[in-house]
Amino acid sequence: MIPKANPDFEKKYKSVDTWYIEYDDQRCFTTREIGIDKDGIVIARAPFNNNLGLWVDSDMKYEDYLSYEIFPITKNDFILLWNAPIA
């Protein structure tokens, strides 16, 4: 049996309106991700418990993300969202 990569959040992914990612420029990979719904509520984050993450578990480089609409946020704002309760 192969375990699911994101057992707690997989069903919530269709409700994610905005993704925030933390990217390590030095090592060239995504380290953390946060999924926010249309109401601004945190509904997913990874890696977290048994959840590897959608973006964290990919091999995307920063340049790959440029094909998406990107809005940077501050490190402080990311940390506040990371520490917010998950709905």
Task: Tell me the pLDDT tens digit for each residue of 2-57.
Answer: 557 899 999 999 999 999 999 999 999 999 999 999 999 999 999 999 999 999 99
Give mean pLDDT, residues 53-69: 93
Give mean pLDDT, residues 54-64: 93
- Please count the residues of the chain: 87
Q: Residue 15 falls within a domain, yes or no?
A: yes
What are the φ and ψ backbone dihedral angles of 72, each rounded to 5 degrees? -70, 150
Using only C-alpha atoms, what is the Rg of the chain? Answer: 13
Contact (CB, 8 A) for 47 and 8: no
Q: Residue 68 falls within a domain, yes or no?
A: yes
Q: pLDDT at residue 79 above 70? A: yes
Q: Residue 61 falls within a domain, yes or no?
A: yes
Q: Residue 31 falls within a domain, yes or no?
A: yes
Q: Residue 19 falls within a domain, yes or no?
A: yes
Domains in the chain: how many in total? 1
Look at residue 74 in the predicted model and tell me its pLDDT: 96
Q: Residue 4 falls within a domain, yes or no?
A: no
Q: For residue 20, give its domain range.
A: 10-83
Look at residue 1 in the predicted model and tell me its pLDDT: 52
Q: Residue 3 falls within a domain, yes or no?
A: no
Q: Residue 2 falls within a domain, yes or no?
A: no
